[in-house]
């Protein structure tokens, strides 16, 4: 008997996804996404524009697009941003055009964003996939913040306080991952697993940006 009798149903078509990775500052969003990039996970990694000064280890165009306040305001005036926000005194904004172009090329777009930004994206693009990263404990988060040593002590305390509030937003997300110490590959793999599972949905998400 022939072994190529077609299925009596049509399989769902999955348009590319917008994946939002969020969580408190220093939880490891950037590190997880950098690791995914290193491991050549097949995504379009959206690069945020920011007016924050570059940290020594950061690379322009990879970690952020570092722009002046004037440049940022011009982009904002042109309606370039899908979402933009002031975070700890600096501007951050993601380009709507870049998201649209990547989706049109069939690429899943992955972005990292703070918790308030994720809430904005949820309003604008409710069908995006929302992933929340948690630290294993509060003191481990504080240790990660201190290790970075980029902020003065009072900002550090502010960020720990903000982290407590941000964690209470977790139930607005679709998935939660605890980003354990020295386990970036696991976190990267879990993010990828979530996206693979999303590609098995019977009713695919429809991303409209």
Which CB atom, from 96 or from 204, has the smaller least distance to ligand 5GP? 96
Decide if residue 43 touches ligand 5GP (CB under 6 A). Answer: no
Closest CB 97 distance from ligand 5GP, rounded Å:
14
Sketch the per residue contact string, 143 through 182, with ligand 5GP: x for CB under 6 A, - otherwise: ----------------------------------------
> SS3 of 52, please?
coil
Q: Residue 121 Cβ, how far from ligand 5GP at the closest point, in Å?
A: 9
Closest residue to ligand 5GP using C-beta atoms: 117
Q: Does 187 participate in binding ligand 5GP (rule CB under 6 A)?
A: no
Per-residue binder mask for ligand 5GP (CB under 6 A), 19-38, x = binder = ------x---x---------
Q: Can you tell me the distance from the alpha carbon of 175 to that of 5, in angstroms, rounded to the nearest whole number? A: 38
Angle at 56 between CA 77 and CA 117, to 5 degrees: 40
Tokens of 29: 């969003």
Give the residue ranges of DSSP H helices in the chain: 29-38, 69-77, 96-104, 115-124, 138-148, 153-167, 184-198
178 CB-near residues (< 8 Å, 6+ apart): 133, 134, 135, 136
93, 83 in Cβ contact below 8 A?
Answer: yes
Q: Which of 31, 37, 71, 85 binds ligand 5GP (CB under 6 A)?
A: 85
Q: Residue with structure tokens 């020295």? A: 182
- Alpha-carbon distance of 133 to 67, in angstroms, equals 27
> If you search the block for the tokens 């970690």, which residue do you land on?
63
Q: Which is nearer to ligand 5GP, 16 or 117 (CB)?
A: 117
Phi and psi for 128 in degrees, rounded to 5?
Answer: -65, 165
The contact pattern for ligand 5GP, residues 51-80, with x = CB under 6 A and - = no contact, is -x----------------------------
**Which is closer to ligand 5GP, CB of 148 or CB of 205?**
148
Q: Ramachandran region of residue 182, left (φ > 0), alpha (ψ -120 to 50) or beta? A: left
Is 91 a binding residue for ligand 5GP by CB under 6 A? The answer is no
**Is the CB of 29 or the CB of 144 nearer to ligand 5GP?**
29
Residues within the interface to ligand 5GP (CB under 6 A) = 25, 29, 48, 52, 83, 85, 87, 92-94, 112-114, 116-117
């Amino acid at each position: 008997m022939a072994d190529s009798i077609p299925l009596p149903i049509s399989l769902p078509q999955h348009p590319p996804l917008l994946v939002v990775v969020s969580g408190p500052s220093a939880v490891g969003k950037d590190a997880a996404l950098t690791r995914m990039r290193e491991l050549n996970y097949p995504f379009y990694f959206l690069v945020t524009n920011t007016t924050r000064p570059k940290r020594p280890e950061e690379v322009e165009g990879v970690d952020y697009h570092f722009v002046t306040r004037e440049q940022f305001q011009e982009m904002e005036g042109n309606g370039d941003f899908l979402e933009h926000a002031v975070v700890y005194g600096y501007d951050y904004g993601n380009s709507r055009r870049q998201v649209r172009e990547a989706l049109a090329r069939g690429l899943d777009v992955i972005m990292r964003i703070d918790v308030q930004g994720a809430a904005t994206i949820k309003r604008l693009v409710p069908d995006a996939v929302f992933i929340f990263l948690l630290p294993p404990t509060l003191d481990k988060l504080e240790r990660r913040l201190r290790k970075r040593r980029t902020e003065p002590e009072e900002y550090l305390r502010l960020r720990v306080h903000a982290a407590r509030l941000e964690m209470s937003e977790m139930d607005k997300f679709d998935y939660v991952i605890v980003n354990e110490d020295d386990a970036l590959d696991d976190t990267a793999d879990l993010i990828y697993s979530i996206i693979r599972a999303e590609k098995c949905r019977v009713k695919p998400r429809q991303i409209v940006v």
